[in-house]
Amino acid sequence: MIEHFGVPERNKRKPAPVDLLIATILSQNTNDNNSYEAYQNLKRKYSDWNQLVKAPLKEIEKTIKKAGLTNQKAGAIKNLVVNLSRDNRLDMKFIKKMDNKEALEYLTSFKGIGIKTASCVLLFSLYRNVCPVDTHVHRTLNRIGIVNEKSPEKTFLRINENLPEGIAHSLHTNLIKLGRGICRPTNPDCTVCPISDLCAYPEKKHSKSSKTKEKRLFIAR
């Protein structure tokens, strides 16, 4: 996948954990453009996350309308900042001292924050070797045959059991590219898949190279 997609670049500056948490909550069940616009609207409206503590929930919902599921997402964001602010921990610097298991358990203790959102904080904000699993990563890993799990949460646990050091960012990012552009939910384009020869998906189409070989064998006969 690195040969096909390249090595994904990292942000020059690590995003603050709370910023990434809020951005990832907004990204749930919507596209990147909508979630980004909702996040920017939130930042323009509230220059400091502490302002969200006293902000009316309806006002937050209106501000993030572009991201959809406004009741659910506004509630999760409000709950997060209220609890962090109450303990004077809104900068979330303390999380850097936690190991991966502790950090995941702490973050998922908040309403509306699941394992995918929490693991995104570990990968993108703390630069930990943790591979988040969304629907694209779940689908591709199961089709390839690396795991055989029914849910993204179970795929996450399996894939991160013995993940080689230093590959999480590249693996996660390139699997998403693979899942969005090639290994689509319906009508996957196996003919251009860079790992088709390794894939165990029973319904995969023959690659171009395989078709060429079959044609040559037929002519030779």
Amino acid symbol at 32: D
Angle of CA points 19, 70, 15, to nearest 5°: 10
Given the residues 65, 97, 116, 204, the one annotated as active site: 116
Burial of 217 (0-12, 13-18, 19+ CB in 10 A): exposed
Q: Are 174 and 141 in contact (CB under 8 A)?
A: no
Sequence-distant (6+) residues with CB within 8 A of 146 are: 159
Alpha-carbon distance 13 to 108, whole Å? 25
Alpha-carbon distance 31 to 188, whole Å? 20
* b/e map 44-68, b = 16+ CB within 10 Å: eebeebeebbebeeeebbebbebbb
Alpha-carbon distance 99 to 96, whole Å? 8
101 noted as active-site residue = no
- Which positions are annotated as active-site residues? 116
